[in-house]
Protein backbone atom coordinates (compact mmCIF):
# COMPACT_ATOMS: atom_id res chain seq x y z
CA UNK A 1 0.00 0.00 0.00
CA UNK A 2 2.99 2.28 0.04
CA UNK A 3 3.01 5.51 -1.98
CA UNK A 4 -0.69 5.26 -2.73
CA UNK A 5 -2.67 8.44 -3.14
CA UNK A 6 -6.40 8.29 -2.49
CA UNK A 7 -8.60 10.63 -4.48
CA UNK A 8 -12.21 11.18 -3.48
CA UNK A 9 -14.51 13.18 -5.72
CA UNK A 10 -18.25 13.55 -5.91
CA UNK A 11 -20.99 16.13 -6.18
CA UNK A 12 -21.70 18.64 -3.49
CA UNK A 13 -23.47 17.25 -0.41
CA UNK A 14 -22.55 13.67 -1.24
CA UNK A 15 -20.64 13.12 2.00
CA UNK A 16 -17.07 13.25 0.72
CA UNK A 17 -15.57 15.03 3.70
CA UNK A 18 -16.92 12.57 6.20
CA UNK A 19 -15.74 9.64 4.14
CA UNK A 20 -12.29 11.17 3.85
CA UNK A 21 -11.99 11.51 7.61
CA UNK A 22 -12.99 7.90 8.17
CA UNK A 23 -10.52 6.68 5.58
CA UNK A 24 -7.79 8.82 7.11
CA UNK A 25 -8.42 7.23 10.49
CA UNK A 26 -8.37 3.71 9.09
CA UNK A 27 -5.39 4.07 6.82
CA UNK A 28 -3.29 6.61 8.65
CA UNK A 29 -3.93 9.38 6.19
CA UNK A 30 -3.87 13.13 5.88
CA UNK A 31 -6.46 15.09 3.98
CA UNK A 32 -5.83 17.59 1.21
CA UNK A 33 -8.55 19.88 -0.07
CA UNK A 34 -9.48 19.80 -3.76
CA UNK A 35 -12.29 22.29 -3.63
CA UNK A 36 -11.79 25.67 -5.24
CA UNK A 37 -13.95 27.52 -2.73
CA UNK A 38 -13.10 25.84 0.54
CA UNK A 39 -9.66 27.40 0.31
CA UNK A 40 -11.05 30.75 1.45
CA UNK A 41 -10.59 31.76 5.04
CA UNK A 42 -13.48 34.15 5.54
CA UNK A 43 -16.26 31.99 4.08
CA UNK A 44 -16.51 28.93 6.21
CA UNK A 45 -20.17 28.08 6.50
CA UNK A 46 -21.29 28.83 2.96
CA UNK A 47 -18.43 26.88 1.43
CA UNK A 48 -19.33 23.95 3.72
CA UNK A 49 -15.80 23.64 4.96
CA UNK A 50 -15.37 20.58 7.19
CA UNK A 51 -15.49 21.41 10.88
CA UNK A 52 -14.11 18.27 12.44
CA UNK A 53 -10.45 18.94 11.84
CA UNK A 54 -9.04 17.88 15.19
CA UNK A 55 -7.76 14.34 14.94
CA UNK A 56 -6.85 14.22 11.28
CA UNK A 57 -4.52 16.65 9.57
CA UNK A 58 -6.31 18.77 6.98
CA UNK A 59 -4.37 20.73 4.39
CA UNK A 60 -5.29 23.64 2.11
CA UNK A 61 -8.56 24.49 3.83
CA UNK A 62 -9.42 28.10 4.65
CA UNK A 63 -5.86 29.31 4.25
CA UNK A 64 -6.38 32.02 1.66
CA UNK A 65 -7.91 35.46 1.97
CA UNK A 66 -10.98 36.16 -0.14
CA UNK A 67 -9.07 39.19 -1.36
CA UNK A 68 -6.80 36.87 -3.32
CA UNK A 69 -7.22 35.34 -6.72
CA UNK A 70 -6.73 31.62 -7.00
CA UNK A 71 -6.47 29.06 -9.78
CA UNK A 72 -5.86 25.42 -10.61
CA UNK A 73 -2.22 26.19 -11.23
CA UNK A 74 -1.74 27.70 -7.81
CA UNK A 75 -3.58 24.83 -6.21
CA UNK A 76 -1.32 22.31 -7.92
CA UNK A 77 1.79 24.14 -6.79
CA UNK A 78 0.61 23.75 -3.23
CA UNK A 79 -0.98 20.32 -3.43
CA UNK A 80 1.85 18.43 -5.13
CA UNK A 81 4.50 19.18 -2.46
CA UNK A 82 1.96 18.40 0.27
CA UNK A 83 1.25 15.01 -1.29
CA UNK A 84 4.96 14.25 -1.64
CA UNK A 85 5.67 15.25 1.92
CA UNK A 86 2.87 13.10 3.29
CA UNK A 87 4.22 10.15 1.30
CA UNK A 88 7.72 10.73 2.64
CA UNK A 89 6.28 10.61 6.14
CA UNK A 90 4.83 7.19 5.31
CA UNK A 91 1.28 8.35 5.48
CA UNK A 92 -1.49 8.23 2.89
CA UNK A 93 -2.51 11.45 1.17
CA UNK A 94 -6.27 11.66 0.70
CA UNK A 95 -7.29 14.33 -1.76
CA UNK A 96 -10.97 15.28 -1.43
CA UNK A 97 -13.13 17.82 -3.13
CA UNK A 98 -15.69 18.73 -5.71
CA UNK A 99 -13.59 20.56 -8.26
CA UNK A 100 -13.19 18.17 -11.16
CA UNK A 101 -10.62 20.28 -12.94
CA UNK A 102 -8.29 20.10 -9.95
CA UNK A 103 -8.34 16.32 -10.07
CA UNK A 104 -7.83 16.24 -13.80
CA UNK A 105 -4.75 18.42 -13.54
CA UNK A 106 -3.44 16.51 -10.56
CA UNK A 107 -3.68 13.22 -12.44
CA UNK A 108 -2.71 14.30 -15.96
CA UNK A 109 -0.45 17.15 -14.99
CA UNK A 110 -0.51 20.68 -16.25
CA UNK A 111 1.95 22.41 -18.54
CA UNK A 112 3.61 25.32 -17.00
CA UNK A 113 3.02 28.22 -19.32
CA UNK A 114 5.02 31.34 -18.49
CA UNK A 115 3.12 33.82 -16.40
CA UNK A 116 1.36 36.41 -18.51
CA UNK A 117 1.57 39.99 -17.41
CA UNK A 118 -1.52 41.87 -16.34
CA UNK A 119 -0.80 44.51 -18.94
CA UNK A 120 -1.15 42.02 -21.76
CA UNK A 121 -4.23 40.45 -20.26
CA UNK A 122 -5.95 43.77 -19.73
CA UNK A 123 -5.10 44.85 -23.23
CA UNK A 124 -6.78 41.74 -24.59
CA UNK A 125 -9.82 42.13 -22.41
CA UNK A 126 -10.23 45.67 -23.64
CA UNK A 127 -9.77 44.53 -27.19
CA UNK A 128 -12.41 41.85 -26.73
CA UNK A 129 -14.94 44.26 -25.34
CA UNK A 130 -14.32 46.60 -28.27
CA UNK A 131 -14.56 43.93 -30.95
CA UNK A 132 -17.25 41.70 -29.51
CA UNK A 133 -17.21 37.91 -29.54
CA UNK A 134 -17.43 37.34 -33.25
CA UNK A 135 -14.75 39.71 -34.50
CA UNK A 136 -12.50 38.72 -31.65
CA UNK A 137 -12.86 35.11 -32.74
CA UNK A 138 -11.88 36.05 -36.29
CA UNK A 139 -8.80 37.81 -35.08
CA UNK A 140 -7.86 35.03 -32.71
CA UNK A 141 -8.18 32.29 -35.32
CA UNK A 142 -6.06 34.30 -37.75
CA UNK A 143 -3.37 34.56 -35.13
CA UNK A 144 -3.69 30.98 -33.93
CA UNK A 145 -5.67 28.77 -36.37
CA UNK A 146 -5.63 25.83 -33.94
CA UNK A 147 -8.23 27.63 -31.88
CA UNK A 148 -10.78 26.79 -34.57
CA UNK A 149 -10.62 23.17 -33.47
CA UNK A 150 -11.17 23.81 -29.81
CA UNK A 151 -13.01 27.06 -29.28
CA UNK A 152 -16.42 28.44 -30.00
CA UNK A 153 -16.80 32.07 -30.90
CA UNK A 154 -19.07 32.55 -27.89
CA UNK A 155 -16.58 31.31 -25.33
CA UNK A 156 -15.16 34.62 -24.15
CA UNK A 157 -13.25 33.23 -21.20
CA UNK A 158 -11.29 30.64 -23.13
CA UNK A 159 -10.79 32.84 -26.18
CA UNK A 160 -9.12 35.47 -24.06
CA UNK A 161 -6.88 32.87 -22.49
CA UNK A 162 -5.89 31.44 -25.86
CA UNK A 163 -5.17 34.90 -27.19
CA UNK A 164 -3.04 36.01 -24.30
CA UNK A 165 -0.99 32.81 -24.40
CA UNK A 166 -0.27 33.19 -28.06
CA UNK A 167 0.53 36.86 -27.80
CA UNK A 168 2.86 36.46 -24.86
CA UNK A 169 4.61 33.23 -25.88
CA UNK A 170 4.24 33.16 -29.67
CA UNK A 171 3.01 29.62 -29.34
CA UNK A 172 -0.48 28.15 -29.42
CA UNK A 173 -2.12 27.29 -26.13
CA UNK A 174 -2.88 23.91 -27.68
CA UNK A 175 0.76 23.28 -28.52
CA UNK A 176 1.59 24.02 -24.93
CA UNK A 177 -1.11 21.66 -23.76
CA UNK A 178 0.24 18.87 -25.94
CA UNK A 179 3.38 18.91 -23.80
CA UNK A 180 1.52 18.09 -20.61
CA UNK A 181 3.26 15.51 -18.46
CA UNK A 182 1.92 13.78 -15.36
CA UNK A 183 3.45 14.47 -11.96
CA UNK A 184 2.82 11.03 -10.52
CA UNK A 185 2.83 7.44 -11.62
CA UNK A 186 -0.73 6.63 -12.63
CA UNK A 187 -0.69 3.44 -10.57
CA UNK A 188 -0.31 5.45 -7.40
CA UNK A 189 -3.82 6.81 -7.58
CA UNK A 190 -6.80 5.15 -6.00
CA UNK A 191 -9.62 6.98 -7.70
CA UNK A 192 -12.93 6.99 -5.89
CA UNK A 193 -15.97 8.90 -7.05
CA UNK A 194 -19.34 9.11 -5.34
CA UNK A 195 -22.33 9.08 -7.64
CA UNK A 196 -25.44 9.27 -5.50
CA UNK A 197 -28.93 8.93 -6.92
CA UNK A 198 -30.06 12.29 -8.30
CA UNK A 199 -33.35 12.44 -6.40
CA UNK A 200 -31.66 11.43 -3.19
CA UNK A 201 -28.98 14.07 -3.62
CA UNK A 202 -31.61 16.73 -4.33
CA UNK A 203 -33.23 15.97 -1.01
CA UNK A 204 -29.91 16.30 0.74
CA UNK A 205 -29.24 19.58 -1.03
CA UNK A 206 -32.57 20.97 0.16
CA UNK A 207 -31.86 19.96 3.74
CA UNK A 208 -28.37 21.35 3.66
CA UNK A 209 -29.36 24.60 2.01
CA UNK A 210 -31.99 25.24 4.68
CA UNK A 211 -29.48 24.51 7.38
CA UNK A 212 -26.83 26.71 5.86
CA UNK A 213 -29.02 29.82 5.93
CA UNK A 214 -28.64 31.00 9.50
CA UNK A 215 -27.41 33.99 11.46
CA UNK A 216 -23.86 32.79 11.19
CA UNK A 217 -23.80 32.57 7.42
CA UNK A 218 -25.58 35.91 7.15
CA UNK A 219 -22.91 37.44 9.39
CA UNK A 220 -20.30 35.83 7.22
CA UNK A 221 -21.65 37.57 4.15
CA UNK A 222 -22.07 40.90 5.99
CA UNK A 223 -18.40 40.83 6.92
CA UNK A 224 -17.50 39.77 3.40
CA UNK A 225 -19.44 42.66 1.90
CA UNK A 226 -17.71 45.13 4.19
CA UNK A 227 -14.44 44.26 2.48
CA UNK A 228 -15.85 45.80 -0.71
CA UNK A 229 -13.94 43.39 -2.91
CA UNK A 230 -13.62 43.50 -6.65
CA UNK A 231 -16.67 41.62 -7.95
CA UNK A 232 -14.51 39.54 -10.24
CA UNK A 233 -12.62 37.78 -7.47
CA UNK A 234 -13.53 34.09 -7.32
CA UNK A 235 -14.81 34.16 -3.74
CA UNK A 236 -17.78 36.20 -4.95
CA UNK A 237 -19.03 33.10 -6.71
CA UNK A 238 -19.42 30.97 -3.62
CA UNK A 239 -23.03 29.88 -3.64
CA UNK A 240 -24.95 32.03 -1.19
CA UNK A 241 -22.81 35.15 -1.27
CA UNK A 242 -24.78 36.89 -3.99
CA UNK A 243 -28.07 35.51 -2.73
CA UNK A 244 -27.61 36.60 0.88
CA UNK A 245 -26.37 39.96 -0.29
CA UNK A 246 -29.60 40.40 -2.31
CA UNK A 247 -31.57 39.37 0.75
CA UNK A 248 -29.76 41.91 2.92
CA UNK A 249 -30.58 44.60 0.37
CA UNK A 250 -34.20 43.42 0.56
CA UNK A 251 -34.23 42.56 -3.13
CA UNK A 252 -35.54 39.09 -2.33
CA UNK A 253 -37.47 37.47 0.51
CA UNK A 254 -36.06 34.81 2.77
CA UNK A 255 -38.15 32.19 0.99
CA UNK A 256 -36.66 33.22 -2.35
CA UNK A 257 -33.20 33.29 -0.84
CA UNK A 258 -33.43 29.66 0.13
CA UNK A 259 -35.03 28.69 -3.19
CA UNK A 260 -32.27 30.35 -5.18
CA UNK A 261 -29.55 28.72 -3.13
CA UNK A 262 -31.15 25.33 -3.66
CA UNK A 263 -31.40 25.93 -7.40
CA UNK A 264 -27.80 27.06 -7.75
CA UNK A 265 -26.53 24.18 -5.68
CA UNK A 266 -28.49 21.73 -7.80
CA UNK A 267 -27.13 23.26 -11.00
CA UNK A 268 -23.65 22.96 -9.58
CA UNK A 269 -24.23 19.32 -8.71
CA UNK A 270 -25.55 18.74 -12.22
CA UNK A 271 -22.35 20.06 -13.75
CA UNK A 272 -20.38 17.83 -11.39
CA UNK A 273 -22.35 14.81 -12.60
CA UNK A 274 -21.57 15.77 -16.18
CA UNK A 275 -17.90 16.04 -15.30
CA UNK A 276 -17.96 12.62 -13.67
CA UNK A 277 -19.56 11.01 -16.70
CA UNK A 278 -17.26 12.70 -19.18
CA UNK A 279 -13.95 12.98 -17.38
CA UNK A 280 -13.90 10.34 -14.68
CA UNK A 281 -14.61 7.18 -16.58
CA UNK A 282 -11.70 5.28 -15.10
CA UNK A 283 -12.75 6.02 -11.55
CA UNK A 284 -14.41 3.53 -9.24
CA UNK A 285 -17.91 4.72 -8.49
CA UNK A 286 -19.96 4.19 -5.35
CA UNK A 287 -23.63 5.00 -4.98
CA UNK A 288 -24.64 3.70 -1.56
CA UNK A 289 -27.13 5.89 0.22
CA UNK A 290 -26.51 4.44 3.65
CA UNK A 291 -23.30 5.94 4.94
CA UNK A 292 -22.16 2.89 6.91
CA UNK A 293 -22.41 0.75 3.77
CA UNK A 294 -20.58 3.29 1.68
CA UNK A 295 -17.82 3.62 4.22
CA UNK A 296 -17.38 -0.14 4.49
CA UNK A 297 -17.35 -0.69 0.75
CA UNK A 298 -14.86 2.07 0.10
CA UNK A 299 -12.57 0.89 2.90
CA UNK A 300 -12.63 -2.62 1.53
CA UNK A 301 -11.88 -1.33 -1.95
CA UNK A 302 -8.97 0.75 -0.69
CA UNK A 303 -7.42 -2.07 1.31
CA UNK A 304 -7.61 -4.39 -1.70
CA UNK A 305 -6.08 -1.93 -4.10
Partner RNA sequence: GGCCACGUGGCGGAAUGGUUACGCAGAGGAUUGCAAAUCCUUUUAUUCCAGUUCGAUUCUGGACGUGGCCU
| Centroid of chain to Cα 293 | 27
Q: Is the sign of the CA dihedral 44, 195, 59, 232 positive or negative?
A: negative
Q: Does 126 bind RNA (CB under 7 A)?
A: no
Q: Among 26, 57, 68, 104, which residue sits at the site for RNA (rule: CB under 7 A)?
A: 104
- Cβ neighbours for 224, distance < 8 A, ≥ 6 positions apart: 42, 43, 66, 235, 241
Tell me whether residue 221 or residue 239 sits nearer to RNA (CB atom). 239
CB of 281 to RNA, least distance (A): 10
The footprint of RNA on this chain (CB under 7 A) covers a number of residues equal to 62
Binding mask 74-103 for RNA (x = CB under 7 A): x--x--------------------xxxxx-
Q: Is the sign of the CA dihedral 202, 207, 213, 217 positive or negative?
A: negative
Q: Among 28, 71, 126, 186, which residue sits at the site for RNA (rule: CB under 7 A)?
A: 71
Q: Does 112 bind RNA (CB under 7 A)?
A: yes
H or E segment and range at residue 296: helix 291-304
CB of 139 to RNA, least distance (A): 17
Strand ranges for 24-65 from DSSP E: 29-33, 58-59
CB of 28 to RNA, least distance (A): 27
CB of 87 to RNA, least distance (A): 23
Q: Among 26, 72, 127, 141, which residue sits at the site for RNA (rule: CB under 7 A)?
A: 72
Tell me whether residue 58 or residue 266 sits nearer to RNA (CB atom). 266
Interface residues for RNA in 208-237 (CB under 7 A)?
A: 232, 234, 237
Whole-angstrom distance, CA of residue 214 vs CA of residue 218: 6
Interface residues for RNA in 236-295 (CB under 7 A)?
A: 237-240, 263-264, 266-268, 270-275, 277-279
Q: Does 108 bind RNA (CB under 7 A)?
A: yes
- Cβ neighbours for 175, distance < 8 A, ≥ 6 positions apart: 146
Contact 169, 176 (CB under 8 A): yes
Which listed range, 17-25, 78-86, 173-181, 287-295, lies at the site for RNA (CB under 7 A)? 173-181
Tell me whether residue 87 or residue 111 sits nearer to RNA (CB atom). 111
Q: Does 70 bind RNA (CB under 7 A)?
A: yes
Contact 12, 209 (CB under 8 A): no
The pairing of strands 284-286 and 92-97 is unpaired
Interface residues for RNA in 14-43 (CB under 7 A)?
A: 35-38
Whole-angstrom distance, CA of residue 112 vs CA of residue 108: 13
DSSP state of 5: E
Whole-angstrom distance, CA of residue 106 vs CA of residue 7: 10
Interface residues for RNA in 50-69 (CB under 7 A)?
A: 69
Dihedral angle of Cα 234, 239, 243, 244, to the nearest 10 degrees: -90
CB of 292 to RNA, least distance (A): 25
Binding site for RNA (CB under 7 A): 12, 35-38, 46-48, 69-74, 77, 98-102, 104-105, 108, 110-113, 115, 150, 152, 154-158, 160-161, 173, 177-178, 180, 198, 232, 234, 237-240, 263-264, 266-268, 270-275, 277-279
Amino acid sequence: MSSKIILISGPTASGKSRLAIDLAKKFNGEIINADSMQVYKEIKILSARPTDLKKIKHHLYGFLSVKKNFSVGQWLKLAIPKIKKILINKKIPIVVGGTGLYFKCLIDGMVSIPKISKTIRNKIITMHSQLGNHQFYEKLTQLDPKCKLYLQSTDRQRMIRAYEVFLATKKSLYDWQAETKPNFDQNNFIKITLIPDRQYLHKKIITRSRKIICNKSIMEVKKFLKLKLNKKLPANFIIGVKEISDYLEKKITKKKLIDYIIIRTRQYAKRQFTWQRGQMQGWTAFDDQKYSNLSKKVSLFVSKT
